[in-house]
Amino acid sequence: MHALGNKYPIDNAGQLKTAASYFDKYLTRFTPADRAIVASNLEKQASALRVDLDMPWVANYSRWSKNDCGYSPDFDQNMRMRKEACESGNIHVDISGTRMHGAEMVTKLASNKDKMSPQSMMAALDEFDKVAGLSPLYDSRMMDPVFTVYGSLTNPHYDSKDVGGGVTDRQLQKIACHDDVMEKVASVVGKDMVEEFRKDPVSTFSKLKDPERVALARAAGI
């Protein structure tokens, strides 16, 4: 398996960490589309290999491939950045034969959030940015279409779900990747339960009774 095309192998934990570190360092050299593909592949393989990739950009860019993901809570703020870029650059675009200020078009797109799926909005922004010539401003004056729709600078794991007792699915998936933590948990809930937990942390945790959940959370330090 590769992170992108037939390059950057991620068949084992070592390769996965090497590739993740490389993209973490040189992410801005890659197009938004490539970032999304890489993030999705890294996240899937990290889950399969039980490797904790605690990298915000992976969480932000991998959401495009998940059908149940909605808009980022930062969407309106991300759109304001795009609008301000249009205003400061006095950007105009031709839409269906009509000359329109770019900022006006951004406002119109933002107002259609409830009528458009995140995927459709991402595609519309990508097309708008090409027409308006905004792509050179990515990562500086404004965020790219993928990040605008799905990303958050302040809380990259905003879609983590509470699965009981204030414990989130993200926390469970994270601790399942660490052997030292799992050893502590095993001393409380048993080795058999830990093996089941490693395979599917969220489902296993949801099946536990409340006292067992509390004990597991305390042993794991969450």
Which pLDDT tens digit goes with each residue over 116-147? 999 999 999 999 999 999 999 999 999 999 99
Rounded to an integer, the average pLDDT of 22-32 is: 96
Q: What is the pLDDT of residue 103?
A: 96
Highest mean pLDDT among 42-46, 98-102, 202-206: 42-46
Q: What is the pLDDT of residue 207?
A: 87
Rounded to an integer, the average pLDDT of 23-32 is: 96
pLDDT, the chain, mean: 93
Are residues 148 and 85 in contact, defined by beta-carbon separation less than 8 angstroms? Answer: no
